[in-house]
Structure 1
């Protein structure tokens, strides 16, 4: 056989078979298939080829290394005959002509068949030219790219002609004037297409130029045509497929249709385009469609890609793209087995990005740098003196080597892979395919190449901090990167795809805060650190959702993002708030400026007392123009102060008891500030009544100084006047008799506290502890209140009264009210009957509100209800003889009873510590999980943080401590309440039988 045939001219260049046994089997199959070939000459050619040493070397190189190429030859032995005897170049030139002619096929099946057959011939011809050393990398990638261009143009041309034949398109000006352009991106755009690569495309159309005459909307037609184009290329038939088409590089692929109007594309890139998209657009070029639209699109993209001026943040954003992919899939270290030579360390992506970052920074001012091909870009950068010539030549050599290896990996099975085999046997086979005598020389050569690239790449960015410390975090494109999902899972996120979509939405300017270029550039820097911070919270997914909600309401983002970038500790705090404190997060959503307050001196100092709070609020109210203004100022002030306390609690700067007292002081200051404003506003309309007026009684957590960030206000109104029942108020436009007067005044106070204004609500108010509860009058007279407590109140109402404090109103009236309450609480009681009523109430609560879990510290046996009932019952029992036991807080009550000698000191300390622990657990769970805590679905981080805040190593240790504490409380409750009540309860039960 003539060695003038190009493919047989250098047999020593052909790789040896990596799998000789497979080669031997395939040769037998080859003889059989060749004997049945359409061309009789093919059978003779097969015999001659196998008899020739160079021919056998070629067959072994194919059969022993690539099952895909083997199948191509066995299916169509005539193709190998033509490629060997005529040479790859003329054969593939004829193939391109047949592929282009597919545009004029009679039907779609014929067109698809032609494109698939020519694609397999191209794949075989390019592979053989590569293996035989006839073509260098540029020729290989150029041939692959040219065929892809031709196939896309042919498929689009076929569809356009078919729609023209149906009357949906007016093709009077020719099929090329169709209003569509297909933008080739990535390696196809740069004419560097991989052997088995997807082709990245963006379909753009000009609605004014599409000669559409059909019944659909032109936009719907464009989408339909694009989907048909993709199907013609992708659909697998018995003859294979043409190419996998990826449309995800189009603007905002999760929201944008598959075909993009040119005006929409222009608007997007002008206002929302990101720097990673600029990098992608370096390689973009029209590859098919209407040349007019292609030229117009190229012109409008040019200023987007090539900026004349780049500011600090734009350059950092370009560099941060590198740091986001610095630990890409394929391993965070250089390796051989299983290494991904595209996106792994030292891989192709690093070389490409090395060039692209410098092009983005300098290409706006130096046109010679605007090169699509990576090799050309590196050369141009060296010529411009922006990188060293040695660096450029080294990276060009590495790039050519890795691309050649990439092609060998893909030739094996025609799969889009860049990952090396994971077994020694697999490495030995690919080493043979690369022309090595053994695995070790290949291993040494590859490691040297990868490490060289890694060193050069690292040197380019050596001044930059490692932004993507936790691993791969890439939020470009339309689909999440698998390694990014793995990184997000390691960070603690359960729904990585949702994280990808949320962060991608920020980058695409979905919110006002991220619509400016600078905001998105700073955000790119911030995202990895932000996600790490959110990942450290108890519930990373929930924290991200809260942060996203927070971001969605911001009018702008540059100031906030810059502040967070400059203050990493503030970012940690923000993440903790979003993940652990729903109420604080809600406040920040309404008042993002509070983050600045965190940076002011004094925010983390000791929390102010009542006197300082009153003075601060009084200063703020001096600027109030009217009553409505006062309502807003008080709300803003109180919410900001509550936020400060919440942050102190969250950071562990204060305990729950200190926080409760501080929150109570804030509520009292707010009420005290509104009280005169409400009265003045009310008196303008209704005048005044003679006498002390109205007093406000604080009950519940407000009365006990045990408020939380989310507490409402338990209030009772009591009034006294010297006016007769039928008298009316004086000095107002609409006088009222005393009953209606005080009821409306009280309602005005409630409204001032609860009404939603531009600043939200101040507090919710609960009035159910007033005499007769919900059915009672809104305001009681002092005499009526006292009479009710002596004659009609239930024991549980007296228990609630142990927390009552008169906090607002006439000083004398308040003093008389406190004295009357004290008189009620200090009356003598039958201990057994008292305890029986307490037990009955406790059992009713247990039936109606059974504990949901071990963590339900309020209702569980030995929990907060038992502690509060125990304290209040003992206060009522002993207050007659020892009035000093009437402290308003639970822990204060136990301490007072120990001081009075009615409760053992050791037992009191046990109860105080139990109350402190239970309140802390309750407060932390409400802070971190809200009211819907579910242990089964609680993130491990939440439970760990809860345990840590209680001084325990893990949640099981805390569970055991709670159980032990509750057991001791329950034992004391049994001894001091249940046992004394037993005889009365037994007698009652016997009487009912």
Structure 2
């Protein structure tokens, strides 16, 4: 039990105004402060006469007699509608006169209002059922109690605590074993009846309306119909019911319809409402419910004069919550606490010594005072308002109706004293509460209505649609995702949500970050492990959210493969990339692949390893643990290892089926793989070259081996794909064999190849296979490049090729870093032309890596120092940006659509302070590279 210090409330000075019953004129004069009641007195003077002559009970009975007429006229919807409205109006007037004159105390008033609402509900529901029977949707019954359909009164109606302008909070259910549908399904018939019932109650006409009906306390109102079967409701509460819903059912009771079916439902629901043991997470969730009423908009402190009597600090809800929280915590072990009215709950808490006698009595006094203030606010015009406005005329009106006469200052003094007392008691109850709401303000997602304080907080955090955020998170809490379908998953998410939203807001693009996180958790099969991790590793979680915000590709990868998080928890995940070695990566991959027994298992193992390593590389660069320039070597080490290991797997698979293959083979890499410049999305440009031996073995398995290798590297499995493989750079391209004999390779490059193929050959690097054959292939390539140096049409071919590419593959913008004028392609053309021109005279310039080739060309005085420096800087900047974009962005980068966070991160990758500076730097380098390309190669069609 939670100890709460004793507090004292000053004696209140409000008094009833008995003189209003002296005459109808006196009543009319007094009620001039309330246009609504004044109008009722004019329309129904007999109510005043009855209360003056026979007492309050007799006057109220006039409205109940009308409701008996409505029940009797159940098949005539028009008569029922009119009668209900007249009964409600007369009942309101009788109750108000009994209230203001002091004939009834606040408990008698709220009880009478509730009885009036209950009788109206019964009459309207019976009429709607009878109409449905006439239409043959259901079979006729002699009374509503036999139908299998029932309405549960929730909230204040359930506790007989309705105020003058309350909605009636109802949950309408039907027992499928008792509800006798006819031409329609049981659910459809029940829904139609409920809709007709609500319309009968709510529709305004010349006679007014009866009561507003709120059906949103039913299970998951955004997804479920307005009427549900009892089994559907029980399944929901058992599976994903939340603690605020348990709290709502403390006051729940059957108020209309089949009590037998209703009692059976409550009997099954009882263990859900009243748990003998309440774990930490449920208490934490109760604290979250409490925060919903902490800071509603405009009522954050006691100093603000305008006051929401229901939700404001020191208001009605704090007293109700004080009682209900302890009922929920203790009621499982103490059945006497299972009462509905707030004053009864306080009495039982006193008996249990959970609340002192003094605090209990003072809270009841404060509750009565605040309920009276609420009633008098609503008497003005029958509006569902709980706000005592900062308007002197309205506050004076309430003071008069409270019995303070012209002493408004005394009323204000009493009101403030009550608020201070209530909020003090209420705050003491939660003095030891762990603050899970974060530092930003209200972040609460329980209940049906959007918490005003949470809307305000989310708006201040930068969310463009706070209501949409609340609905999204509320759906998570209701079990709308596989990750939150368990109670434990919901509990963990309840604790995580406030901090999660703060991390999302800190990214500077909260809408985007929330959307990507939502995609991520939508892909989780279960949420307990991930949510527990995020709560335990808050720095990791904050970094993860930030990475998702800046890198949509990473977010998508995690959404598709949430198991990647497992790898992120390994100590090796944060090992520096520049400390990796090719041998270590190869050995690690061999270990996981060789632990599997068959070809498919080894393919899956390789894909899992590759996926985790790719994430590790990208994540370290995103978080600034590594530079973008570290990415190319890291991705290349991973690709080299994948090729080597899967080649061995492919060879073993082929030899297992077809016998030993004595031929020698190597795998060569072209393009970015050859230059050790791979990015996150690069294809593998490879070639298989083999020597069948002399004499050749009759069982030549080169083609089978190559096909198996391609499958091992690129075939999709349950674990996804490894790489896309491109083998078109082999001699004769697609028309030639998939594996090339070394003699054919040599012959082709002695004179049959095109100039562009020699350009590609400058980047050849052997990544796997026989060492002797590798040395032979490298020698052939070097000799072939030397021969091409003497080709007279070399420069013309290269210019034509660059101009054709410029025409056929136009860049989208200067951010198309490969194709843009002055981009990576221009630099590669300049470098590869220089290599081909000088391969015979200076063979040392033949280097697969672009930056190494630039340095070699400078050392050979082929490039001037300023040219080499410019090309190095321009290439480094653009390849770093390209690496970053390949990690972060799935599609083409568009600077107009890019987020602020992504631009900031790209600027850091480019080594500058902001995106404007980065843009200017990029354009400057591209212009200078274009100038060099024009001087070395020639103009493009688009050059000015």
Asked whether the two chains share a fold, i.e. TM above 0.5, the reply is yes
Tell me the distance in 2 between the aligned counterparts of 1:370 and 1:723. Answer: 94
Residues 346, 574 of structure 1: CA spacing in aligned structure 2 closer, same or farther, 3 A cutoff? farther
Residues 163, 626 of structure 1: CA spacing in aligned structure 2 closer, same or farther, 3 A cutoff? closer
Residues 921, 118 of structure 1: CA spacing in aligned structure 2 closer, same or farther, 3 A cutoff? farther
Deviation, structure 1 residue 752:
0.6
In 2, are the aligned partners of 1:382 and 1:389 still within 8 Å (CA)?
yes
Deviations 1:513-540 (A, max 9, x none): 3332222222211222223333444654
Deviations 1:406-429 (A, max 9, x none): 223333332222334356666566
Residues 582, 816 of structure 1: CA spacing in aligned structure 2 closer, same or farther, 3 A cutoff? farther
Deviations 1:679-711 (A, max 9, x none): 11112333455542x321222332222223333
Residues 353, 985 of structure 1: CA spacing in aligned structure 2 closer, same or farther, 3 A cutoff? closer
Tell me the distance in 2 between the aligned counterparts of 1:850 and 1:138. Answer: 80
In 1, are the aligned partners of 2:150 and 2:173 still within 8 Å (CA)?
yes
Match of 1:207 in 2: 176
In 1, are the aligned partners of 2:443 and 2:457 still within 8 Å (CA)?
yes
Tell me the distance in 1 between the aligned counterparts of 2:116 and 2:725. Answer: 75
Whose RCO is larger (CA < 8 A, sep 6+)?
2
Aligned partner (choices 676, 683, 694) of residue 712 of structure 1: 683
Aligned partner (choices 191, 201, 215) of residue 247 of structure 1: 215
Deviations 1:728-771 (A, max 9, x none): 644xxxxxxx5xx4233211101011112222211222233333
Match of 2:539 in 1: 569
In 2, are the aligned partners of 1:100 and 1:151 still within 8 Å (CA)?
no
Tell me the distance in 2 between the aligned counterparts of 1:391 and 1:899. Answer: 90
Match of 1:972 in 2: 929
Tell me the distance in 2 between the aligned counterparts of 1:525 and 1:286. Answer: 34
Residues 816, 283 of structure 1: CA spacing in aligned structure 2 closer, same or farther, 3 A cutoff? same
User: What's the secondary structure of 2:571's corresponding residue?
Assistant: coil
Residues 380-779 of structure 1: pairs in structure 2 closer than 5 A: 380-421=348-389, 435=404, 437=406, 444-469=413-438, 470-477=440-447, 480-481=450-451, 483-537=453-507, 540-589=510-559, 592-607=562-577, 608-688=580-660, 690-692=662-664, 694-722=665-693, 729-730=698-699, 738=700, 741-779=701-739
Aligned partner (choices 123, 130, 133) of residue 92 of structure 2: 123
Tell me the distance in 2 between the aligned counterparts of 1:197 and 1:933. Answer: 55
Match of 2:3 in 1: none
User: What's the secondary structure of 1:770's corresponding residue?
Assistant: coil
Match of 1:803 in 2: 763
In 2, are the aligned partners of 1:113 and 1:239 still within 8 Å (CA)?
yes
In 2, are the aligned partners of 1:493 and 1:541 still within 8 Å (CA)?
yes
In 2, are the aligned partners of 1:181 and 1:204 still within 8 Å (CA)?
yes
1:137 correspondence with 2:106: yes
Tell me the distance in 2 between the aligned counterparts of 1:793 and 1:14. Answer: 109
In 2, are the aligned partners of 1:754 and 1:764 still within 8 Å (CA)?
yes
Tell me the distance in 1 between the aligned counterparts of 2:786 and 2:19. Answer: 103
Residues 530, 618 of structure 1: CA spacing in aligned structure 2 closer, same or farther, 3 A cutoff? same
Tell me the distance in 2 between the aligned counterparts of 1:698 and 1:661. Answer: 14
**Count of aligned pairs:** 927
In 1, are the aligned partners of 2:293 and 2:312 still within 8 Å (CA)?
no
Residues 903-922 of structure 1: pairs in structure 2 closer than 5 A: 903-922=863-882
Tell me the distance in 1 between the aligned counterparts of 2:782 and 2:418. Answer: 87
Residues 70, 815 of structure 1: CA spacing in aligned structure 2 closer, same or farther, 3 A cutoff? farther
Match of 2:273 in 1: 305
In 1, are the aligned partners of 2:523 and 2:559 still within 8 Å (CA)?
yes
State which drifts further: 300-309 or 583-592. Answer: 583-592
Match of 2:82 in 1: 113
State which drifts further: 823-832 or 874-883. Answer: 823-832
Tell me the distance in 2 between the aligned counterparts of 1:426 and 1:477. Answer: 31
In 2, are the aligned partners of 1:111 and 1:158 still within 8 Å (CA)?
yes
Deviation, structure 1 residue 247:
1.2
Deviation, structure 1 residue 841:
4.3
In 1, are the aligned partners of 2:806 and 2:941 still within 8 Å (CA)?
no
Tell me the distance in 2 between the aligned counterparts of 1:129 and 1:832. Answer: 113
Tell me the distance in 2 between the aligned counterparts of 1:645 and 1:885. Answer: 31
In 2, are the aligned partners of 1:924 and 1:946 still within 8 Å (CA)?
yes
In 2, are the aligned partners of 1:689 and 1:729 still within 8 Å (CA)?
no
Deviation, structure 1 residue 165:
5.1
User: What's the secondary structure of 1:380's corresponding residue?
Assistant: helix
Deviations 1:609-653 (A, max 9, x none): 211122222332342222222222222222122222222122110
In 1, are the aligned partners of 2:219 and 2:236 still within 8 Å (CA)?
yes
User: What's the secondary structure of 2:150's corresponding residue?
Assistant: strand
Tell me the distance in 2 between the aligned counterparts of 1:166 and 1:218. Answer: 14
Q: Which runs of 5+ in 2 are unaligned?
A: 1-12
Residues 380, 983 of structure 1: CA spacing in aligned structure 2 closer, same or farther, 3 A cutoff? closer
Deviation, structure 1 residue 88:
4.0
Match of 1:363 in 2: 331
In 1, are the aligned partners of 2:910 and 2:918 still within 8 Å (CA)?
no
Deviations 1:38-73 (A, max 9, x none): xxxxxxx99x744xxxx1xx4454333x34334434
Tell me the distance in 2 between the aligned counterparts of 1:452 and 1:668. Answer: 73
Tell me the distance in 1 between the aligned counterparts of 2:862 and 2:350. Answer: 90
Deviation, structure 1 residue 100:
3.5
Tell me the distance in 2 between the aligned counterparts of 1:281 and 1:348. Answer: 18
So what's the TM-score if we normalise by structure 1?
Answer: 0.85
In 1, are the aligned partners of 2:441 and 2:454 still within 8 Å (CA)?
yes
In 2, are the aligned partners of 1:672 and 1:808 still within 8 Å (CA)?
yes
User: What's the secondary structure of 2:206's corresponding residue?
Assistant: coil
Deviation, structure 1 residue 978:
0.9
Residues 148-297 of structure 1: pairs in structure 2 closer than 5 A: 148-164=117-133, 169-171=138-140, 174-212=143-181, 214-297=182-265
Q: CA RMSD in A?
A: 3.5
In 2, are the aligned partners of 1:550 and 1:585 still within 8 Å (CA)?
yes
In 1, are the aligned partners of 2:137 and 2:189 still within 8 Å (CA)?
no
Residues 239, 16 of structure 1: CA spacing in aligned structure 2 closer, same or farther, 3 A cutoff? same
Residues 95, 582 of structure 1: CA spacing in aligned structure 2 closer, same or farther, 3 A cutoff? same
Q: Which runs of 5+ in 1 are unaligned?
A: 1-9, 18-44, 731-737
Tell me the distance in 2 between the aligned counterparts of 1:440 and 1:814. Answer: 99
Tell me the distance in 2 between the aligned counterparts of 1:598 and 1:707. Answer: 22
Residues 367, 625 of structure 1: CA spacing in aligned structure 2 closer, same or farther, 3 A cutoff? same
Aligned partner (choices 39, 62, 65) of residue 31 of structure 2: 62
Tell me the distance in 2 between the aligned counterparts of 1:561 and 1:77. Answer: 64
Aligned partner (choices 759, 781, 787) of residue 741 of structure 2: 781
User: What's the secondary structure of 1:603's corresponding residue?
Assistant: helix
